[in-house]
């Protein structure tokens, strides 16, 4: 598998390196003054597959949203480069894919079927959510999110949706979805809000920081007063 990747087989043919963010882009938000190093508490993994770059762009925005929450470490990894250790490392995962024939691409399915399967029942209790792109609106991205969520549920992840609206008429109840790449302010914010909510839930439920609960924080959840 390793050599197939490097020589353009398997994932390589479908996965232009030009579209890949760095394998592990870490956002570390607290500074340890004494050592002048940065550390994080909550660990968020943004794991995605992309064939032509759109889902990679979503992943970058999801990661930026997670980084809004203090004391969060964010790792962004293309599934072609991901390992079981990445999954074991995280407290919460945002799983993203393009819609292929109304469902997830085989590359994403293979990662969970083959790479992660040996650790089934050992990675219980993490948090999870989904994001997906599609060729056009109503092309099936919510179905893809539901399939991604189902994969996570099978591994015992605690899967969630988001009740927020990022603009009037624009929400992400079952995950963030866009058509093509995220372009508009609302589409970008939908991706960021998903990552933000994942980091908030990691802070609340994994790290015991109730002040980061969205109902308690001052971060806006709707674009109009309620
Ligand atoms: C094999 C294949 C199947 C696809 N099936 C669908 C589909 O069922 N519905 C849809 O809206 N778009 C479909 N698309 C379009 C992609 O979902 C869309 O272009 C997506 O934004 C690509 O994301 P990426 O750039 O991250 O690979 C398909 C594309 C391919 C290559």
- Return the domain boundaries, the chain: 11-212
Q: Mean pLDDT per 10-residue run, the chain (226 residues)?
A: 29 33 41 41 97 98 97 97 98 98 98 98 97 98 98 98 96 98 98 98 95 94 82
Separation of first and last alpha carbons in the chain: 52
Q: Whose CA is nearest to atom 6 of ligand 1?
A: 100
Q: What is the pLDDT of residue 224?
A: 81
Assign a CATH topology to domain 11-212: Rossmann fold (3.40.50)
CA 14 / ligand 1 centre spacing (Å): 12
* Atom number of ligand 1 nearest to Cα 53: 25
Q: What is the pLDDT of residue 225?
A: 72
CA dist list (Å): 156 to 34, 57, 152:
39, 28, 7
* Atom number of ligand 1 nearest to Cα 48: 26
Q: What is the pLDDT of residue 226?
A: 65
Residue (of 14, 6, 49, 42) closest to 27 by Cα position: 42
What's phi and psi for 131, nearest 5 deg? -145, 150
Q: What is the pLDDT of residue 30?
A: 37
Confidence check on the interface: ipTM exceeds 0.90, yes or no: yes
Residue (of 94, 48, 76, 55) closest to 196 by Cα position: 94
Q: Whose CA is nearest to atom 28 of ligand 1?
A: 100
Give the torsion sign (CA, 67, 127, 129, 46): positive
């Amino acid at each position: 598998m390793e050599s197939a990747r490097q020589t353009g087989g398997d994932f390589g043919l479908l996965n232009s390196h030009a579209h890949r963010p760095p394998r592990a882009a870490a956002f570390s938000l607290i500074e340890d003054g004494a050592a002048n190093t940065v550390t994080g508490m909550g660990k968020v993994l943004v794991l995605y597959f992309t064939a032509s770059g759109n889902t990679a762009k979503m992943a970058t925005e999801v990661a930026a949203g997670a980084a809004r929450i203090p004391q969060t470490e964010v790792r962004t990894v293309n599934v072609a480069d991901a390992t079981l250790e990445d999954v074991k490392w995280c407290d919460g995962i945002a799983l993203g894919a393009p819609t292929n024939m109304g469902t997830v691409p085989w590359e994403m399915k293979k990662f969970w079927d083959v790479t992660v399967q040996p650790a089934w029942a050992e990675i219980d209790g993490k948090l999870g959510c989904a994001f997906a792109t599609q060729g056009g609106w109503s092309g099936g991205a919510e179905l893809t999110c539901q399939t991604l969520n189902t994969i996570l549920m099978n591994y015992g992840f605690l899967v969630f949706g988001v009740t927020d609206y990022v603009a009037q008429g624009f929400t992400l109840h079952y995950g963030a979805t866009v058509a093509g790449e995220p372009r508009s302010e609302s589409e970008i914010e939908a991706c960021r809000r998903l990552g933000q909510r994942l980091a908030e839930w990691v802070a609340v439920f994994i790290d015991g920081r109730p002040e980061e609960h969205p109902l308690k924080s001052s971060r806006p959840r709707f674009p109009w007063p309620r």
